[in-house]
Structure 1
């Protein structure tokens, strides 16, 4: 865990220096992975530092469903302005490749949505959709999982959603429409990883039914 935390803080510091430059390694990684334009018009320029225990998220590295069962530790303190009123953020995690990368009829599957997060205090945000880890089904290949952070223009009020334990409540999340409806603009930071089925996710869907 200590190694992952050191990677988080080092990466956050390193990539935050790119904002004053014309080239952003974060935006470039999002473009090469086609997260932008698949679900975003404009990619983030800043890193959203993230780690699942001892497993850091590194702009497209592969993690296993077993690695990401529990929600990650996130760092974005370098984005906070020196103002009296704390800014509010929305955090979203999506699976872009469900049920498969060549059949994205479930796009996007909402894995996590927290809004009205003051500063970097995730625990004080409002949970719209609780975290669930990546669980691609067997023989569906690699899935892209994007973590996106938006700075809100104002405090949000979102309508209630269905039962988060029901896959239907998570399938078909339209990120572009959500951004437009709540005037969120370009994500201020992001990160992503890829994952494919392992023994844990395969067993999960054998017991639960239709994968997401």
Structure 2
């Protein structure tokens, strides 16, 4: 645990502090110098304070973040895959339908056909704060319903696992190294109910490129993968973003199906005051969550 102490400008007392990785702000009065706090942490902390008022009501959708969180609970991804899910950013996923060459955007819970999910998708990451292009991310796609939800004896099936994804100037996550597990398209067997395909983004640990391949490589079976066990072994931490889609056998899939969490409630859109308050409440929480991850990466 790291403790950073700041000086109260108004009183000259060293009463303000931040505990990392758990953020506890004891005072809003901070000085620009500190002998007990690494300069990189202080700089990023102050930068975040400057960014929050400008970004919290920007293009980032807090309602979409809330929808995603609720969708994970409704689909029982929490607790089937994750013990909890508190995303700080939005993960966009875009497939290309090979039959039409049209883009297919994933919204949480959307039902897609096997044909639509045949090619590896593109990934995008957006948040309330500017995401540095130097920070690497780990992406994983798993199926907790293999071989079928009625009898998931091969859960979890690892459809993709890779690191060294970086955000470019269009928010796209671009990979700069070979994946530990290349993308394998969904192929739920005949007679199966639609499967949940869960896509998660993590801030990459500093030693992931050495620890990851020791546990997952080309010879590692894809079935019976355990994301929690793997994450603990490589210090992956909690996901900062995620989404999921459904795919069943050809007769069960439909491109016209929509996500149960894609609509915005009338209560959230009817009042500008209510919307602003909600944006500040949720947006600040999301901002701190992502910022802490970036801080810890900088310190690693």
Give the TM-score band, short-chain normalised.
Answer: 0.7 to 0.9
Following superposition, the deviation at residue 94 of structure 1 comes to 0.6
- Larger mean Cα displacement after TM superposition, 150-159 or 134-143: 150-159
Q: Distance in 2 between matches of 1:127 and 1:80?
A: 27
Q: Cα deviations across residues 62-85 of structure 1 (Å, max 9, x unaligned)?
A: 0011001101111114377455x8
**Who is 2:246 aligned against?**
194
Distance 1:179 1:109, change over 3 A: same
Q: Cα deviations across residues 117-143 of structure 1 (Å, max 9, x unaligned)?
A: 234552304410000111101001110
> For 1:101, which of 149, 153, 163 is the aligned residue?
149
Q: Cα deviations across residues 85-123 of structure 1 (Å, max 9, x unaligned)?
A: 811210000111011112111110000111132345523
**Who is 1:161 aligned against?**
217
Following superposition, the deviation at residue 162 of structure 1 comes to 3.4
Higher relative contact order, structure no. (Cα contacts within 8 Å, ≥ 6 residues apart): 1
Matched, 1:52 2:79: no
SS at match of 1:194: strand
Q: Cα deviations across residues 10-44 of structure 1 (Å, max 9, x unaligned)?
A: xx9443x359xxx8221111111011100111214
Instruction: Give runs of ≥4 in structure 1 deviating > 6 Å.
Output: none
Q: Unaligned regions of 5+ residues in structure 2, if any?
A: 1-57, 97-102, 252-300
Q: Distance in 2 between matches of 1:82 and 1:93?
A: 22
User: What are the within-5 Å matches in structure 2 for residues 111-126 of structure 1?
Assistant: 111-120=159-168, 121-126=173-178
Matched, 1:65 2:121: no
Following superposition, the deviation at residue 61 of structure 1 comes to 0.6
User: What are the within-5 Å matches in structure 2 for residues 22-33 of structure 1?
Assistant: 24-33=66-75
Following superposition, the deviation at residue 152 of structure 1 comes to 2.0
Q: Distance in 2 between matches of 1:192 and 1:31?
A: 12
Query: TM-score normalized by structure 2?
Result: 0.55
**Who is 2:79 aligned against?**
37
Distance 1:134 1:79, change over 3 A: farther
Q: Distance in 1 between matches of 2:197 and 2:221?
A: 18
Distance 1:13 1:72, change over 3 A: farther
Distance 1:196 1:72, change over 3 A: same
Matched, 1:145 2:197: yes
Q: Distance in 1 between matches of 2:177 and 2:191?
A: 36
Cα-Cα RMSD? 2.6
Count of equivalent residues: 180
SS at match of 1:184: coil
Query: TM-score normalized by structure 1?
Result: 0.76
Report which of the two structures shows the higher radius of gyration computed on alpha carbons.
2
SS at match of 2:73: helix
Distance 1:44 1:51, change over 3 A: farther
